[in-house]
Each structure stands twice: as structure tokens, then as C-alpha cells.
Chains A and B, each alone.
Chain A
Amino acid sequence: MKDISLGQYYPIKSPVHRLDPRTKMIAVILYIITLFLIPMLPNYINNGGTLHDYLIIAAVCYGLIFILLIVAILFSRVPILRVLKSIKGILFLLIFMSLISMFFYGGPISEGSWQWSWWNLNLSTESLINAGIMSLRLVLLILGPTILTLTTTPTDLTAGIESLMSPLKLIKFPVRIFALIMSLALSLIPGLMDETAKIINAQKSRGAHFDSRNLFKKAKAMMPILIPLFISAFKRADDLANAMDSRCFNSSKKRTKMKRLSFKARDLSLLLFVASLIGIIVYRGGLYMQSIMIGGIVLGGVAVVFMLFGIIESVVLKRTDG
């Protein structure tokens, strides 16, 4: 299937592509935690805050995150539209969720705010703001990991996960086997996708049609694809197991790696950046003016570091490309 690339890795060279996969994964995890640490409107008001204060805090927090995201996208050199395409998958969920939170807002509503209600549906300034922020959060939640998968090959991701999970060896978790299973699964995907495309084409040539609207018919139409696919998947797995056996594979021995992960200065700087961001957002409570200042300083500093790295990288890249 030449029309589909594995996962969504976007094969170009960029400073973000060059980062250690572990860095990117930790950064994404921090990023997601940060997103969840930003208070939601009902909680904030229940804790004695005002709508006005909340708006400022939300603007600062989401602003910072937004800037981080933009910087990451720009440095990854992936077209912005390609990144935004990932939202398409959750569009339905997004609309559904924002409608629900818009009409069934359960939080407190201040006296002066605008309200509208019909039957069981209630709208208010608060509910609209809440729905907007929830949608924004969901979009941001998708975009962060998207940049990770766009700029990291599945192999690197597996290596990163293996390395990050290695402390679990202490509690006898079979990290090596787990990593092996993951990388084997990943390595089988392109072959299986190829096989799927071939089988689909073969059945189409025999007049099969997969575009029926009827769900039952659609499921039935999948059988001529699924059965040959399962058979071929089991065969492949069997062959692979035999090949590994014949080369004396032993899961208890430590394996060496062809490509070692290395944690560099640029990785540290990115992590510091993300960590300071989370620091600011954790530190929000009431002292938002201070956070703006700290945030501004950190952001400025890191932006300079990033730019320097960008310049150095592009010079180096040009040299190696030419």
C-alpha cells in the first residue's frame, strides 16, 4: 500500500525530529499533565474565584501552552495543516462534547451574567466560556502527541518507551520482552498493510464492494478480507518465531542496540522549558500577575535558546544535506 505511510511519521529533517525520543515523550507527558492542571471554571468559582480572574488565568495558561505548541510546530517544519489534520478524527467528539457542556453546565452562575433557557437546555456566559475552554483543551490534548508521532519514527518511540520503562525492571516487570513485542508488532504493520491492500484489490477484482451503507452488509463484506488477513498474520508470526528460534534468540539475555539514544544539551533545554511552564501553571493560585512575569522571562529565555539551536541545527543540516 504505497499510498499510506506507517503511523503518521513525517520524514523530514528538523531540530524537533533530532531530539531524543525520550525527551519528546517526557515533554508530551508534562504537557498533558499541565493541561489538566489548569483549573476548570466551575472548580475555580467554587473555590472563591471570580469570572474575571479566571479569564485572566486561562488566558495566561493557555497562551503559554499555545506558544509552546506553535514553537514546536515551527521548529518541526511539518506543515501546520498536516498537524491540524489530526483534529479531523475527533471532530465529532469535539462538537458533541462542547454541545453537552454548553447546554448542561452544572457550575455556579454569577448574578450579573447573561442567561437563556428553553426546556431543559440552559445557556449562560459561564457555560459558553466553559464549553469553549473544554474544546480548546481537547484540541490541545490531541495536538501535543500529534507532534510527537509526526516527528518520531515508531522504532524510536519503542526505544524511548523501553528506556523510560527500564526502572520497572526492579519490580520484575519484563521490560525487554515488552519492548520486543512492541517493536515486532510495529515491524509487522507495514507488511500486513501491504497484504491488506493486496487482498482488498484481489477481492475488488472479483466484484466485491465495500461501500454498502448497511452496517450488517458492511461487516459481512469484511469477511473476504479479514479471513485471508488473519491466516497470513498467523503465518508470518509463525515464520518469525521459527526464524528467531533458529538464530538462538533468548529473551533473558541483554541485547545491544544498533542505534543508541543519547540525551543532549538541546534535550535538557527543552525539558527545562516545559518544566518551567508546568511550574508557572502550578503556581497560578491568585498570584497570576507574578506568573505572567515569570512566564514572560522563562519564555523569552527559552525562545532565545530555541532560536540558537534552530540556527545551529539548520547550519549543520545544510552542511550534511549538501
Chain B
Amino acid sequence: MTIKIKNLSHIYNPKAPFKKVALDNITLDIEHGDFFGIIGHTGSGKSTLISHLNGLIKLQSGDLTVDGIDLSKRYDYKQLRAKVGMVFQYPERQLFDITIERDVGFGPRNLGLDKDEIDKRVKEAIIKVGLEFEKIKDRSPFEISGGQMRRAALAGVLAMKPKILILDEPTAGLDPKGKKQILHLINSLRNEVPTIIMISHNMDEIFENCNKIAVLKDGKLKGVFTPRELYDNSSIVVDSGLKMPSVYQIISALKAKGYDLNAINEEELIEQIISAKGDTL
């Protein structure tokens, strides 16, 4: 078991008149090898939940264990943050250093690694995210394109060699091509980073990539489901103020016309449409 969350609750400004219950008694497990999706309407507590996972928010009540580290007791922040890599929304906004090479090395330097190891990791990470190391390492992170900046920021997290990677809206603000590339990149990391957690408002991305999906509504967990289960019970998603992915919309439109399809992703859908067309012809 990689991450174990039990009865986790969090209240912002607990004593003030403007207090807000962000998480209400959440219990869920994320296992080694999961590509875990978290969906929910704005303000449903997604960000608060993931911020707990690398100790950015102090535990108020409940239990939380991340890869053997019990966060309800005293623990080593550095050790936790080396294990859990966090890529926030618009990660390119965290870039600050003079060169891309130095910026990507910020995390490893903070971990106190020796210089050779840092250089090695930085080079690996920059190449892994699809940037040309020699060409780009000495340039300022502010003079490359938006898509490249996001890759550089991602490299900054990967250079810490996390076991668990948390992504908050990794494709927000990118054009369709950029979105595809980033998702492709994330999927190509599965060998190095076995467990990935992703928040997204884009249901297509979540359903295409995740094997488990947690649905949050108003700080409460509606449950953890596989994409298949949510396809069969779309009301769970709709009741939480979200839309089902476009593959689902196409399938239900076709079902209404009498076609029996059960695809849950683009590839399957295309295949089934082609074969269904063959039937009617």
C-alpha cells in the first residue's frame, strides 16, 4: 500500500466566522502502480487533499501514511518530499533561476546530493521531458516557450526522483497538441515513477489514463471507482457537477440509435464504430 488515508478532515480558519470545511472524513487507499485520478467541482477539496500528501498542510484530524511515513507523527519533511513529487497547476510559474540547468537542479540541491549526482539527475530529467539538454541548459527559463517552460518545471520535479508523482491539472492552459504531448510524457514515466496521482477538470484525460478515479463533492468522498464503473453509473459524476467524457457522450448517442457499444476509451470506440459500421453494411 503506497498511500493510506483514513478519516482525514480539514477545516480552514476553524475558529473564525468564515471557517470552511475543505475535507470531510475522507478514507481512501492509493496502491503502488496506480494511475489515480481525482475529480470534483471547483472547491470540492481536491487541492487540499493532495497538499496533505507531501506535508504542505498539517494534519488536523485523521490518519495519513505515505509510503511508510506516518504523517500523524513527527517525520522528516525532506524524506517525504523526496518521495512525493508535486507538480502544481501552471508549474512554469515556479521557475526562478538563471539557467534551466540550475533551476532543474534546485530540488536535488535541496536534497543535499553531491554535485555529480545532481548533474546526472538534471541531465536525465531534462532529456526525459523531451528538451534538448545541450541546447537549452544554459538558457534562461524565461526565454523559452510556454510549453517548454512547463516541461522544464516538470523536469525540476522529476530530478528529485520521486516514487509518487502528483499532478494538479498538468495540461491546463496548453493547446490540444501540447496537452497530448504532456500526457504522453506522463505515461512514458510509468517505469521510473510507479504511482501517479492526477487532478484534472478534463474528464477525457482522466478516463483515458487513470485506472482508479476518486470523486469528490463538497469535501466528501463519493467513492473510488474504475472508469468502467463510472461508465455504468454516470449519475455519480453528473451529480458532482461534472460532465462525463466525450467518449461516453458519443456512446450514449449511438446507443440511443440502437448500436450496442461498450468502449471506455478513444481507441476502443474507434474500433467498435468501425466494426459496427461493417455490421450494418
Also in contact, A207 and B107, with CB within 8 A (given A198-B93, A202-B88): yes
Also in contact, A207 and B160, with CB within 8 A (given A202-B91, A231-B142): yes
| Shortest Cβ-Cβ A-B pairs, 8 listed | A207-B110, A205-B86, A206-B107, A202-B94, A227-B96, A2-B12, A224-B96, A202-B88
Residue A5 at the chain B interface, CB threshold 8 Å:
yes
Chain A window 187-210, contacts with chain B (Cβ cutoff 8 Å), 1 for yes, 0 for no? 000000001001101111111110
Partner of A206, one of B12, B93, B106: B106
Residue A296 at the chain B interface, CB threshold 8 Å:
no
CA distance A57 to B96 in the complex (A): 60
Chain A interface: which of B16-24, B121-129, B210-218, B272-280? B16-24
CB neighbours (8 Å) of A205 from chain B are: 54, 56, 81, 84-86, 88, 157
Main secondary structure of the interface of A (DSSP, over half): helix
CB distance from B219 to the nearest CB of A (A): 13
CA distance A55 to B12 in the complex (A): 48
Q: Is the CB of B13 within 8 A of A2?
A: yes
Q: In chain A, what residue has the closest Cβ to B111?
A: A207
CB neighbours (8 Å) of A208 from chain B are: 106, 110
Q: Is the CB of A232 within 8 A of B81?
A: no
Q: In chain A, what residue has the closest Cβ to B95?
A: A228
Chain A window 240-265, contacts with chain B (Cβ cutoff 8 Å), 1 for yes, 0 for no? 00000000000000000000000000
CB neighbours (8 Å) of A10 from chain B are: 17
Q: Is the CB of A201 within 8 A of B93?
A: no
Residue B262 at the chain A interface, CB threshold 8 Å:
no
Partner of A209, one of B86, B94, B110: B110
User: A: which residues have CB within 8 A of B?
Assistant: 2-3, 5, 10-12, 195, 198-199, 201-209, 223-225, 227-228, 231-232
Residue B51 at the chain A interface, CB threshold 8 Å:
yes
Partner of A203, one of B18, B78, B94: B94
CA distance A228 to B90 in the complex (A): 12
CA distance A207 to B142 in the complex (A): 22
Q: Is the CB of B56 within 8 A of A223?
A: no
Residue B156 at the chain A interface, CB threshold 8 Å:
yes
The interface centre, meaning the residue of B18, B86, B96, B156 with most chain A CB atoms within 10 A of its CB, is B96
The interface centre, meaning the residue of B56, B85, B91 with most chain A CB atoms within 10 A of its CB, is B56
Q: Is the CB of B54 within 8 A of A232?
A: no
Q: Is the CB of B110 within 8 A of A198?
A: no
CA distance A223 to B110 in the complex (A): 14
Q: Is the CB of A3 within 8 A of B56?
A: no
Chain B window 59-89, contacts with chain A (Cβ cutoff 8 Å), 1 for yes, 0 for no? 0000000000000000001100110111011
Chain B window 19-63, contacts with chain A (Cβ cutoff 8 Å), 1 for yes, 0 for no? 010100000000000000000000000000001001010000000
CB distance from A12 to the nearest CB of B (A): 6
Q: Is the CB of A198 within 8 A of B88?
A: yes
Also in contact, A5 and B18, with CB within 8 A (given A206-B156, A228-B96): yes
Q: Is the CB of B106 within 8 A of A228?
A: no
CA distance A184 to B85 in the complex (A): 36
CB neighbours (8 Å) of A12 from chain B are: 17
CB neighbours (8 Å) of B88 from chain A are: 198, 201-202, 205
